[in-house]
Amino acid sequence: MAQAISRRNFLRGGLATAAGVAASGVVLPQAVRAAGGQELCTVLDLSKCIGCEACVDACRETWQATVPDPVNPMPKPFPSRVPTQDWSKRKDVSDRLTPYNFLYVEHLDFEHKGQALELHVPRRCMHCVNPPCANLCPFGAGRVEKNGIVNIDPDVCLGGAKCKQVCPWHIPQRQSGVGVYLDIMPSYAGNGVMFKCHRCLPLVKQGKQPQCVEVCPEHVQTIGLRPQMLAQAEALARQKAQADGAAPDRWRDYVYGIEENGGTNTVYVSPVPFAVVSAAVNQAHAQAAPGQGKGRAGAGKQGGKRRKAGFAGRPPMGPVNNTMESAENLTAALVLAPLAGLAAGFTRLFGKKQPPSDQPPQEQPPSEQGGQS
């Protein structure tokens, strides 16, 4: 997450660096590079994915057991309208994100330019460059590692689900009845622990690849340093655009994740424009069988309305503005305000002149002095 100037400049600099690296032909082992503390990014070539779900199986086999089972009975939250979410008896669910399933594959059937197409899209956390889930977590449970991996510390998370609310894709999923909130005030504060893909952080720390990358028989995913991966994604997207009959400079229509939410470290490249993919994803979610994701644990909320079961735990794929942009812009106010205050003070703007030394300043009883500490 080393971003010294601004995200846009970082992106520009990253692309320039990528071009330089590509031109020089210097390629170091990724694990070595990652150990240096630079951000890792994955590129997914969707035209390669056959939907075998080997990635899903490997992810579940490796990490499902690390998510604990809830206590029984589970504490009843106060007030009673606060829902408990228990997926512990539905660990087999693999067609959406759950606390026990960090990755699923979206199987899409749609038409494009008069042709029936099939596309399979592995979905998990996007690992944003400037992730609102980690930034806005009030307790520091949301973490961004130096290698760009965004993860949630299960020993700190209270399960308030703020991260899910501020995530544009609503990725983190809550399991109630587990975690540190049980030792504090289980009925009145917290509601479990939020879980999501941590891109196999323990394995990556050992210099290994994430399981979903490692086991894929079609080599759909590539992982590497962000500048290199962005350059790779652009080159691939240019090919896809050309193959689809579009101008090569329309390549951004064929990538997803470079600009979304201010930039992510998961970049999808598709053989068709992502406007088409997004529509297909929305259609698939709308048509999801009523039984899927049924029940309180499966239901989700968005915009104050309970979403259809097909949308819960299944992230959309449309355009996403930078959710941290407002905070980034308001930083200027935080810098300018004290400077303006100092300038006003030193020029005695709004301030009365110093009373003469032989006359005391205005006398007030203490009762009029509010807000002191």
Residues in 300-339 at the binding interface with other proteins, rule: CB under 8 A: 304, 323-324, 326-328, 330-331, 333-334, 336-339
Three-class SS of residue 159? coil
Structure tokens that stand for 212 in this block: 């979903």
Nearer to other proteins, 1 or 46 (CB): 1
Provide the 8-state DSSP code for 101.
B
Stretch that binds other proteins, among 109-117, 119-127, 141-149, 221-229 (CB under 8 A): 141-149
Distance in Å, CB of 333 to other proteins, minimum: 4
Distance in Å, CB of 92 to other proteins, minimum: 30
Q: Is the torsion defined by CA of 176, 182, 185, 187 positive or negative?
A: positive
Distance in Å, CB of 85 to other proteins, minimum: 14
- The per-residue b/e assignment along 119-153, b for 16 or more CB within 10 angstroms, e otherwise, is bbbbbbbbbbbbbbbbbbbeeebbbbbebbbbbbe
Stretch that binds other proteins, among 113-121, 130-138, 170-178, 242-250 (CB under 8 A): 130-138
Query: CB-based burial of residue 373 (10 Å sphere; 0-12 exposed, 13-18 middle, 19+ buried)?
Result: exposed
Distance in Å, CB of 107 to other proteins, minimum: 33
How many residues bind to other proteins according to rule CB under 8 A?
Answer: 73
C-alpha dist (Å) from residue 316 to 121, 160, 274: 11, 22, 11
Stretch that binds other proteins, among 143-151, 195-203, 226-234, 240-248 (CB under 8 A): 143-151
**One character per residue 162-201, x = contact with other proteins (rule: CB under 8 A):** x--xx----------------------x------------
Contact between 114 and other proteins by CB under 8 A: the answer reads no
Using CA atoms, how far apart are residues 67 and 155, in angstroms rounded to an integer? 11
Nearer to other proteins, 147 or 221 (CB): 147
Tell me the chain's radius of gyration from C-alpha atoms. Answer: 25
Contact between 29 and other proteins by CB under 8 A: the answer reads no
Candidate list 25, 73, 79, 356; residue touching other proteins; CB under 8 A: 79
Q: Give me the amino acid identity at 234.
A: E
Using CA atoms, how far apart are residues 323 and 260, in angstroms rounded to an integer? 9
Contact between 160 and other proteins by CB under 8 A: the answer reads yes
